Structure 1
Amino acid sequence: MLKIKFAAIAAVLSLTGTAVYADGSAANGAQKIKTFGCITCHGRDGVSKLAEAPNLAGQVQIYLTSALQAYRTGGRKNEMMNTVAEKLTDSDIADLATYYSSIAVSVAPPPRP
């Protein structure tokens, strides 16, 4: 019985994963960040140009996809992002998330005292 439950959960998650988190094109996303004005706040390089806008470079693709979908549906509230995201198709979201998640980020911890 437990195996059946796990199999059912895995089947649902796999269907959701492929439908909701489709692979996009980083090349298309690079063009779309200009079309949709993403570069104004988040930059071409994914480094925010405004204090209130987050950096997107290297962010996890699934997170970016979920966030954009939530902004599009109104499940997540931000006046600017809701306005921009309502125009996005699933393909646009996949491309934008793929582009920003593909930017390499290097991190260095602060020096020890």
Structure 2
Amino acid sequence: MKRILLGAALLVLGSQAAVAAGDAEAGKAKSGMCVACHGADGNSLAPMYPNLAGQHAQYLESAIKAYRDGQRTGGTTAMMTPMAANLSDQDAADLAAYFSQQKLKQK
């Protein structure tokens, strides 16, 4: 039982470390290409684009990588894939850290 609890604790800590790897300030500096659709602070300028503000960093990072790697399909794939194509894993982590720390504004 102790091994299971220890394993679970290490898994949680490991997943938090992966999220913490992103640098929010670096993400802010890299977010210029996101602003036109998602807003400077991750609050979308148009209802057809999702808000990024307040989303979980791990979700945002995995979504960016999925677009980049051609693993995500759907309505905005044609727009997002070229935007994510040249992003490194670090870029994805930084952008995710930045947008996850922004506050979602109620409209």
Q: TM-score range by the shorter chain?
A: 0.7 to 0.9
Partner Cα separation in structure 2 for residue 60 and residue 72 of structure 1: 19
Alpha-carbon RMSD across the aligned residues, in angstroms, is: 2.6
CA distance in 2, matches of 1:31, 1:13: 31
Match of 2:50 among 50, 54, 67: 54
The higher-RCO structure (CA 8 Å, 6+ apart) is: 2
Deviation at 1:17, TM superposition (A): 3.2
Count of matched residue pairs: 104
What is the deviation of 1:104? 2.5
Where in structure 1 are there 5+ consecutive unaligned residues? 108-113
* Consecutive unaligned residues in structure 2, runs of 5 or more: none
TM-score, with length taken from structure 2? 0.77
Match of 1:101?
100
Match of 2:29 among 19, 26, 31: 31
**Structure 2 CA distance, aligned partners of 1:70 and 1:45?**
22
Q: 1:11 to 1:87 in 2, by over 3 A?
A: farther
Distance 1:52 1:59 in 2: 17
Equivalent residue runs for 1:1-113 within 5 Å: 6=4, 10=8, 13=11, 17=15, 21=19, 23-34=21-32, 37-77=33-73, 78-105=77-104
Distance 1:28 1:75, change over 3 A: same
CA–CA distance in structure 2, aligned partners of residues 92 and 26 of structure 1: 10
The alignment partner of 1:50 has SS state of: coil
Say if 1:29 and 1:69 are closer, same or farther in 2 by CA, change over 3 A: same
Distance 1:20 1:75, change over 3 A: farther
Look up the equivalent residue of 1:28 and give its one-letter code. Answer: A
Question: % of aligned pairs identical?
Answer: 44
